[in-house]
Amino acid sequence: MIVCTNKNALLTALDTLKTQGKIIGFVPTMGALHAGHISLIHHSTAECNTTVASIFVNPVQFNNPADLQTYPRTLDADLELLEKNGCDVVFVPQVEDMYPEGTQNLEAYNFGTLETVMEGAFRPGHFNGVAVVVKRLFDLVQPDKAFFGNKDFQQVAIVRELVRRCMLPIEIVACPIVRQSDGLAMSSRNVRLSPEERTQAAKISQTLFAAQTLAQTEILQTVKQYVIDTINAVPELEVEYFDIVDNSTLQSISLWEDAEQAVGCVAVNVGAVRLIDNIAFMR
């Protein structure tokens, strides 16, 4: 595995691969890698002949400075995991590499109603920061395919829209959520939970699974209220939002029939840690 710590090293490594006509798969991450990230690497190695990953804690997508400061960083373990799982090239840039002109006055994207809801509404500036870094990474790596996790459901929609608007010849592949054995969606932030919080956090996904069953027989409003009340009844958990949305427009629906595919998206504060999860309602 080639580890590139700056742009020039990355471009040199990619030049060689591209002249060999390799199909390049790209997996952008912020590190502190877990089985969810590694599943994206596996999807890429299955579909492409070269897999490039990036590890970059992107400061401009954090709307909360404490979250940025406490974001877990485990570079040595990450590199070991990537190598063991067939990653060919990893790009680990410094902030100055991605933002040579600084992190202020960056390009501004407008994703319309895709970014005015859920994560976009509760984390001002978050998706602009995501779009800025993803576009810069795409421009450097120029992958054929890029792999993202459905855990960040709204992010996938934003990235697809970015690719569409910028007319980038990149296929976006959305991969399933990888969960712990008790159902908790894997997240780099899970390591910041206390043992008690970690136990209680499983109630988030367990409630979503129960809601999936409830949705077979109940109206949407009943299911919505059930999720909010059940999670809020757990002392360590506080729902920031739960919404049931159309999976392509991301807009809130009030009847199951209003969407071809309805998805329930939740953000929950577990002590000082904010977690997100989502579930598709099959009816």
Q: In angstroms, what is the minimal distance from the CB of 66 to ligand AMP? A: 17
3-state secondary structure 13-66: HHHHHHHCCCCEEEEEECCCCCHHHHHHHHHHHHHCCEEEEEECCCHHHCCCHH
Q: In angstroms, what is the minimal distance from the CB of 201 to ligand AMP? A: 13
Q: In angstroms, what is the minimal distance from the CB of 211 to ligand AMP? A: 19
Q: In angstroms, what is the minimal distance from the CB of 69 to ligand AMP? A: 16
Residue numbers 143-172 binding ligand AMP by CB under 6 A: 148-149, 151-152
Q: In angstroms, what is the minimal distance from the CB of 205 to ligand AMP? A: 10
Contacts of 82 (CB under 8 A, 6+ apart): 1, 33, 41, 53, 90
Size of the site for ligand AMP (CB under 6 A): 17
Q: By beta-carbon distance, which residue lies closest to ligand AMP?
A: 149
Burial class (CB in 10 A: 0-12, 13-18, 19+), 238: middle
- Interface with ligand AMP includes 276 (CB under 6 A)? no
Q: In angstroms, what is the minimal distance from the CB of 181 to ligand AMP? A: 13
User: What one-character DSSP code corresponds to residue 85?
Assistant: T
C-beta closer to ligand AMP: residue 211 or 276: 276
- Interface with ligand AMP includes 192 (CB under 6 A)? no
- Interface with ligand AMP includes 88 (CB under 6 A)? no
Sole window of 91-99, 180-188, 244-252, 256-264 interacting with ligand AMP (rule: CB under 6 A): 180-188
Quote the CA–CA distance of 134 and 96 in Å, as a whole number.
Answer: 16
Q: Which residue in 50, 188, 200, 230 binds ligand AMP (CB under 6 A)?
A: 188
- Interface with ligand AMP includes 259 (CB under 6 A)? no
Q: Are 40 and 150 in contact (CB under 8 A)?
A: no
Quote the CA–CA distance of 177 and 186 in Å, as a whole number.
Answer: 8
- Interface with ligand AMP includes 190 (CB under 6 A)? no
Angle, nearest 10°, between helix axes 195-214 and 220-232?
Answer: 170
Quote the CA–CA distance of 158 and 175 in Å, as a whole number.
Answer: 15
Any idea which residues carry the catalytic annotation?
Answer: 37
- Tell me the Cα Rg of the chain: 19
- Interface with ligand AMP includes 198 (CB under 6 A)? no
- Interface with ligand AMP includes 37 (CB under 6 A)? yes
Nearest-CA neighbor of 115 among 129, 134, 135? 129
- Interface with ligand AMP includes 57 (CB under 6 A)? no
C-beta closer to ligand AMP: residue 14 or 159: 159
Nearest-CA neighbor of 256 among 245, 265, 267? 245
- Interface with ligand AMP includes 29 (CB under 6 A)? yes
Residue numbers 93-152 binding ligand AMP by CB under 6 A: 148-149, 151-152
C-beta closer to ligand AMP: residue 220 or 270: 270
Pairing of strands 171-175, 262-270: unpaired
User: What one-character DSSP code corresponds to residue 236?
Assistant: T
Residues that bind ligand AMP (CB under 6 A): 29-30, 36-37, 39-40, 148-149, 151-152, 175, 177-178, 185-188
